[in-house]
Amino acid sequence: MIANRTSEYSPPEWYTKIKALGFDMNQLMKRKDPTTKQALTALSSMKNCIERCENTKNPRELSSFFDELRDHVHKAEFLEVNKFIVRKTRMLDSNGLTRIFATKAAVDYPFDLRADALQLYNRWCAEIFSVDLLRGIVLAKSKNKGDKRNADRIDPKWAKISTKYYGQGDLVIGQWWPTQLCTVRDGAHGSPQAGIYGEKGKGAYSIVLSGGNHYSDEDNGDSIWYCGTDGKDSTPTENTQRMIETCDKVKQPVRVIRSWNLTKSNPYRPLRGFRYDGLYNVVGYQLQNAEKAIYRFKLIRVPGQDPIRYEDNRARRPTRFEIDEYDKLRKLERGMGSDDW
């Protein structure tokens, strides 16, 4: 990840409007309920860990501190905070999370730690403090579990994020979601079910690799053969045509999201849910079946990006905390149909 300079990350307006000695902040400190106390302690511990990363001269100690800081950042994704807690702990100014991902950071933090700190920073800047994985999703009330995924929808009151753009936007490599609908909610992909999303004349913006079909997909990480769906009467589907446009005319890279519905033998398959793995150029295609208009597309990962976060190490997404939360939802069957498992 190529992080921007700290100066390019100015605190949001809502943050700067909160007075450090104002009434709401005073009430926060007076109240000190268990949830508030836990949040203040956790964020203080995170900043203390950042200090230790910056001050140590021992490489072995630094590696241990990095692992500790990873846990702090990953736990913070499920920490119950509000804007006053975030402001009190100064998490969004130059003394907070930007110390991890800024270009002029005092320490060369691992790429995954920079990415995850930036993801947390972006969420809090947007005043999204809910720790519910399915935040912004209106859950279906169907009795048929298999129908739930199709019936869920994004809450119309939820702030809409455009999915009609080229490039990565505010996403980070490894960003993770429990369901495909959540990728739509956060502006990563534009369809809750289709594997290809784009616009006529503008090509494809994003694709989801989910497997489970009879097509000859091949996933080698940095290179992919990806099949479109069956057409009719020798005419490719609209989504397949978007990929053809991208290859022949548009020449813009597409966002690639991998689903854990991929075959278990695929080493790049996320352990749960859906993971954003970066930008890929569509460099060619083959006609596999003329009658059904099945095309297979060759994708090559754009060089210079952070690695795909699939390996069994501390950089892997989903994190163990995300997996735990996902599994809790799975047990509750909260809006996830059988295809999501």
Q: Please tell me the predicted confidence (pLDDT) of residue 336.
A: 54
| CATH code, domain carrying 322 | 2.30.280.10
**157 and 119 within one domain:** no
> 292 pLDDT exceeds 50?
yes
Residue 221 located in a structural domain:
yes
Nearest to 134 by CA among 145, 146, 149: 149
> Which amino acid would we find at residue 4?
N
**109 and 178 within one domain:** no
**308 and 212 within one domain:** yes
Confidence of residue 2 (pLDDT cuts 50, 70, 90): very low
**166 and 110 within one domain:** no
- Residue 301's SS3 state is strand
**227 and 317 within one domain:** yes
Average pLDDT value for residue range 97-111? 89
Residue 206 located in a structural domain:
yes
**304 and 170 within one domain:** yes
Q: Please tell me the predicted confidence (pLDDT) of residue 3.
A: 36
- Residue 255's domain comprises 145-340
Q: Please tell me the predicted confidence (pLDDT) of residue 90.
A: 95
Residue 209 located in a structural domain:
yes
Task: Judge contact between 80 and 39, C-beta under 8 A.
Answer: yes
Q: Which of 125, 155, 178 is the last residue of a domain?
A: 125
Residue 176 region by backbone torsions, left for phi larger than 0, else alpha for psi between -120 and 50, else beta = beta
Q: Please tell me the predicted confidence (pLDDT) of residue 227.
A: 87
**334 and 290 within one domain:** yes
Average pLDDT value for residue range 188-207? 95
Q: What is the pLDDT of residues 121-130, one digit of tens each?
A: 999 999 999 9
Confidence of residue 259 (pLDDT cuts 50, 70, 90): very high
**236 and 91 within one domain:** no
**165 and 35 within one domain:** no
**168 and 294 within one domain:** yes
Q: Which of 91, 125, 159 is the last residue of a domain?
A: 125
- Residue 127's SS3 state is coil
Range scoring the smallest mean pLDDT among 111-115, 157-161, 278-282, 291-295:
291-295
**91 and 189 within one domain:** no
Average pLDDT value for residue range 172-194? 96
CB neighbour burial string for 193-220, b if at least 16 within 10 angstroms, e if fewer? ebbbbbeeebbbbbbbbbbeeebebebe
Q: Please tell me the predicted confidence (pLDDT) of residue 249.
A: 94
Residue 71 located in a structural domain:
yes
- Stated pTM of the model: 0.90
Q: Please tell me the predicted confidence (pLDDT) of residue 228.
A: 79
Range scoring the smallest mean pLDDT among 26-35, 128-137, 254-263, 311-320:
26-35
**214 and 248 within one domain:** yes
> 1 pLDDT exceeds 90?
no
User: Which residues, including other chains, have CB under 8 Å from residue 305's CB and lie 6 or more apart?
Assistant: 1, 173, 278, 279
Q: How many domains does the chain have?
A: 2
